[in-house]
Structure 1
Amino acid sequence: MEFTTLSNNTIKIKLVSTPEQLQAAIADLSTKKELALDLEFDQNRFTYGFNLCLIQITDGKGICYIIDPFDLPDLQPFFQLMENKAIMKIIHHSNNDILLLDKLGCSIQNVMDTDVAAKILNYERSSLATVLKEEFNIEIDKSQQSSNWNKRPLTEQQLQYAAIDVVYLHEVKDKLLTEIEQVGRMHWLQEENSLLEKLRYTESENPHLRLKNASRLTYYNQFFLKALYNFRENLGKQLNKPSSYIIPNDALIELAINPDVDLHEWLNHTRGIHGRLKSPNYENKLRDTISKTMQAAEAQHISHDYAGSQFKRPFRTSETEKRKEELTSVQAEIVKQFGEFAGRLIINQSLINEYSYTGKLRCTKRYATQIVLDTATSIGVQLPQPEAIN
């Protein structure tokens, strides 16, 4: 499929859906120095899990490849392209793209994030639509933003939207880099991009405890919640549905609190329960899960005491308040010098709180550390030597 789509930028879209087409696209893109990239994905919205749905990539010279991973048995040629350090990958707000690629086994290299670049320049709003409007007076149609990217065939409107997310990125990158060089903050951008490349996808150790009000349950109820959460996850995988579509989070908490409930009545009178779970087969599987969990809780002598909050804020003292006040004054001076939104890249409330309670200054960025120390010196605030940066 090839057609011209954009009123402000003539672009030929090439849909890639066979191994042969992918090889040809990669052969072309591998000769370029800079590529603009964006991924469309579904993260527990229409399907189960964090899944790649579409890849948009262009060298900025008139061809935008849209790679459909659903029809491709092997994405290794694309992954190798992403891991090529000699080619810059221009991405706007790359965090989720990098995490998804890492989940798939690809460690992207040489990232240039235009969203971070905009923040360094103190953009109040750094979305791609805002940057295009403010820098180029280009307004883009975001009506397909909430599309279900799992559906096939893709519509022409979806392909247009997908292409828009990359076809302007080379221009955006050039404009923002020029401005960053002018204000002498290129080393900020280089370090921020390097940190992004180190992002790694990890699964939460106890995801059931992240549900609202889970920390307020007894240990016994939390024990049940974990078993019910795992049951729901497994069923979500089987049906390829977001797990909250199987049993809503609040209903899962309710069942963990009252596992002795009449399960048939509960399933048929609780709002949001997936129809498949109401079938005799799955109802019996859920009943069996509850029964086995009861037996395990008894055998392990799980306590009925309340677990309490997982986070306990340290006591405030005159010393903690003094440290907080000092670092807050440093933050105010940094915001005054660099702006509120650029300042957030340098120092944030989490850093201030940790220093207040522990007395340790844990800056994770070299450029930010130097700015914090220099600013503190300039206003007469004495700070300890920061923790070593790996």
Structure 2
Amino acid sequence: MGSESKAIHLHDGDLPDGLDLGPVVAIDTETMGLDQRRDRLCLVQISSGDGTAHLVQIKPESMGGKGANCPNLKAMLENPNVKKLMHYARFDVGILQHALGVRMTSVICTKIAARLVYTFTDKHGLAFLTKDLLGIEMSKQQQCSDWGAPELTPEQLQYAASDVLHLHALWEKLEAMLVREGRRELAQQCFDFLPTRAELDSLGYDHPDIFSHSARL
């Protein structure tokens, strides 16, 4: 993996005991697909913003793994004193709650933040924002690879780590824009609703969305 491999730690099934990642952690997930009711959680990426990524590989018991038996990871996800920083948190919160049986708290979503202030464009993807606000190019070549494989490739690990290593810097830029535009409190109200929004998705209330309206003749 080159020199960057020193900043990537792969853990089997759970975070190690005693690991303190601080009050704000960046989180992302890799799954077998985009349907949380069908596709299993494979990897959880975490960073404290110090240039190091901790990757927790979640394997089912049928593959010799621990399944959802990851008490350290669950404790961090449910800790209200740890802010969880994500991009498109609606999906990540949903898959984590569904797969691990947790109730997430203290969520921040950089995609929602971007949609509230980047109204001059319809581009709100992580790669675009990271390049536009931080000047950092992100490769998405491994996005559609097999994350359920027993052994992940060095390229997969590098890709997975990159999705969390820049979120702290990105949030700093976006939060400043939210404050400038008078939308920081509005963003917080959206963030606070995300665990409930994700729970509605897991119950099937995303199609049709109960917040949408279609007039009947």
- TM surpasses 0.5: yes
Paired residues for 1:89-104 under 5 Å: 89-104=84-99
* Conserved? CA contact 1:3–1:12, under 8 Å: no
Q: 1:44 to 1:60 in 2, by over 3 A?
A: closer
Structure 2 residue 19 is matched with structure 1 residue 28: yes
User: Counterpart of 1:202?
Assistant: 202
5+ residue gaps, structure 1: 211-310, 312-347, 359-390
- TM-score normalised according to structure 2 size: 0.83
* Conserved? CA contact 1:4–1:13, under 8 Å: no
* Conserved? CA contact 1:17–1:67, under 8 Å: yes
* Conserved? CA contact 2:46–2:55, under 8 Å: yes
Counterpart AA for 2:74:
F
Q: SS where residue 148 of structure 2 aligns?
A: coil
User: Counterpart of 2:62?
Assistant: none
Query: Over the residues paired in the alignment, what is the CA RMSD in angstroms?
Result: 2.7
Give the one of 68, 81, 104 matched to 2:76: 81
Inter-partner Cα distance in structure 2 for 1:29 and 1:91: 19
Inter-partner Cα distance in structure 1 for 2:46 and 2:195: 18
Inter-partner Cα distance in structure 2 for 1:113 and 1:44: 18
Inter-partner Cα distance in structure 2 for 1:151 and 1:52: 12
Paired residues for 1:311-326 under 5 Å: none
Counterpart AA for 2:66:
L
Inter-partner Cα distance in structure 1 for 2:124 and 2:51: 25
* Conserved? CA contact 1:57–1:64, under 8 Å: yes
Inter-partner Cα distance in structure 1 for 2:86 and 2:34: 23
Inter-partner Cα distance in structure 2 for 1:68 and 1:98: 17
- TM-score normalised according to structure 1 size: 0.48
User: Counterpart of 1:192?
Assistant: 190
5+ residue gaps, structure 2: 60-64
Q: CA deviation at 1:152?
A: 2.4
Q: SS where residue 124 of structure 2 aligns?
A: coil
* Conserved? CA contact 2:142–2:155, under 8 Å: yes
User: Counterpart of 2:105?
Assistant: 109
User: Counterpart of 1:181?
Assistant: 179
User: Whose strand proportion is higher, 1 or 2?
Assistant: 2
String of CA shifts for 1:2-45, please: whole Å, max 9, x gaps: 96328xxxx610110166xx233xx2235x11000001011379
Q: 1:44 to 1:164 in 2, by over 3 A?
A: closer
The structure number with the bigger radius of gyration is 1
Where relative contact order (Cα < 8 A, 6+ residues apart) is larger, the structure is 2
String of CA shifts for 1:183-242, please: whole Å, max 9, x gaps: 11111111110111212053549xxxx9xxxxxxxxxxxxxxxxxxxxxxxxxxxxxxxx
Q: 1:204 to 1:172 in 2, by over 3 A?
A: closer
Give the one of 60, 63, 78 matched to 2:52: 63
Inter-partner Cα distance in structure 2 for 1:197 and 1:50: 19
* Conserved? CA contact 1:3–1:13, under 8 Å: no
Give the one of 66, 70, 74 matched to 1:72: 66
Q: CA deviation at 1:72?
A: 3.1
Structure 2 residue 12 is matched with structure 1 residue 17: yes
Q: 1:187 to 1:204 in 2, by over 3 A?
A: closer
Paired residues for 1:1-390 under 5 Å: 4-5=3-4, 12-17=7-12, 22-24=15-17, 27-29=18-20, 32-43=22-33, 49-70=38-59, 71-73=65-67, 74-104=69-99, 105-121=101-117, 122=119, 123-198=121-196, 199-200=198-199, 201-204=201-204, 350=212
Inter-partner Cα distance in structure 1 for 2:10 and 2:30: 14
Identity %: 26
Inter-partner Cα distance in structure 2 for 1:117 and 1:44: 22
